[in-house]
Amino acid sequence: MTAIKAKAFAKLNLTLEVLGKRNDGFHEISSIMQTISLADHIEVTAARELSLECDLPSLNNNENLAMRAACLLRESLEIRDGAHIRISKEIPLAAGLGGGSSDAVVVLRLLRRLWAVELTDTDLLKMVAEIGSDLPFFVNGGTAIVQGKGERVRQIPNNKSTVFVVVVPELNMQDKTKGMYSKLELGDFTSGGLSRKLEARIRGGGDIPDQLLHNAFQEVLLRTVPSVRKSYEALQAVGREEIHLTGSGPALFSRVSSQDSGRAIQLLLQYRHGENSFVVESTPGNCSPE
């Protein structure tokens, strides 16, 4: 059978507010998320067994979120067919860009088609919430407000096309997200008001004012992680005044006026400052299989 292929888009958190700690040990968040054009490439083909192949050796195992999602789908629906999953990575690992979560959801979408199973998007939302907090957003992608611990997703009409420069500092931290949450202090918590205001702004067809963009982890990372501070200062050195963190980091982003402007900034970041960067634009959501 010919391989079924699709892109798995990365995301940016335009806001990421942490409201406080929940009784279940997780944190309550309110976040406006946006899918962007940076993407991994996924393909699945029919096979006797279920297997995964990734071009990054460290992800070529059964702990890969995509493999965990595939196993959950197969077991929960008692499917006997297999599949070979191939992932080609473009999204940097553990950067706050959601690559692993996006891969997992796209694999489920492709397997749903390959195995011809009755599984609605609502069913998919319930299933992926068991695997990770970022996954429910990627069921539809686009622009959405995400609340709770990530399981409550409300779609927003797609934000106007926006171009960003994304810089990915080096950061090696075990259990990064858990570690970053442990560093938050009471003063880092907010009410969710910035996310509500930005949602209203986007729904009204307005632009994205930088004063509404906020990330609870940004000041923590700038204070405690030298590589993030270095990348932040590199962005400042090439003229970027409004710089924002995505997820729990370490990736930073800044809006630019056009692709050409973004590429000029990317070259400066690369050759003057040695920074790993990308020029991306907002996308309307996870695409259909090719």
Residue at 286 is within a domain? no
pLDDT over threshold 90, residue 183: no
What is the mean pLDDT of the segment spanning 71-92?
95
Its pTM stands at 0.95
Sign of CA dihedral 236, 238, 242, 248: negative
Q: What is the mean pLDDT of residues 206-233?
A: 94
In whole angstroms, give the CA distance from residue 247 to residue 215: 8
Rg of the chain in Å (alpha carbons): 19
Active site residue 176: no
pLDDT tens profile 36-52? 999 999 999 999 999 99
Looking at the predicted structure, is the pLDDT value of residue 133 above 90?
Answer: no
Query: Are 135 and 239 within one domain?
Result: no
Of the candidates 106, 126, 156, which is a domain's last residue? 156
What is the C-alpha to C-alpha distance for residues 289 and 109, in angstroms, rounded to an integer? 8
What percentage of residues in the chain have a pLDDT greater than 70?
A: 98
pLDDT of residue 194 exceeding 60, the answer is yes
Integer Cα distance of 108 and 65 in angstroms = 11
172/270 same-domain check: yes
9 and 130: one domain?
Answer: yes
pLDDT band for position 171 (cuts 50, 70, 90):
confident
Task: Supply the DSSP string of the chain, one letter for each residue.
Answer: -PPEEEEEEEEEESEEEEEEE-TTS-EEEEEEEEEEEEEEEEEEEEESSEEEEESSGGG-STTSHHHHHHHHHHHHTT---EEEEEEE--SPTTSSS-HHHHHHHHHHHHHHHHTT----HHHHHHHHHTT-SSHHHHTT-SEEEEEETTTEEEEEPPPPP-EEEEE------TTHHHHHHHH--GGG---SHHHHHHHHHHHTT----GGG-EETTHHHHHHH-HHHHHHHHHHHHTT----EE-TTSS-EEEEES-HHHHHHHHHHHHHHH---EEEEEB-SSPPPP-
| CATH code where residue 81 lies | 3.30.230.10
Same domain, 172 and 267: yes
Number of domains into which the chain is organized = 2
Closest CA to 28 of 43, 44, 17, 37: 17
Considering the candidates 11, 40, 89, 103, report the single residue annotated as catalytic: 11
Q: Which domain holds residue 195?
A: 163-281
Percent of the chain with pLDDT over 90: 78
Residue 290 falls inside a structural domain = no
How much is the pLDDT for 286?
Answer: 63
Same domain, 185 and 118: no
pLDDT of res. 102: 96
The answer to whether residue 287 sits within a structural domain is no
**Mean model confidence pLDDT for the chain:** 93
Distance of alpha carbon 150 from its chain centroid, rounded?
12
Per the annotation, the verdict on 183 as an active-site residue is no
Name, of 43-57, 157-171, 180-194, the range with top average pLDDT. Answer: 43-57
Residue 58 lies in a domain: yes
Residue 234 clears pLDDT 90, i.e. is over it: yes
Please pick, among 7, 89, 103, 134, the residue that the annotation labels catalytic. Answer: 134
Looking at the domain assignment, is residue 176 inside a domain?
A: yes
Helix axes 65-76, 99-114, angle to 10 degrees: 30
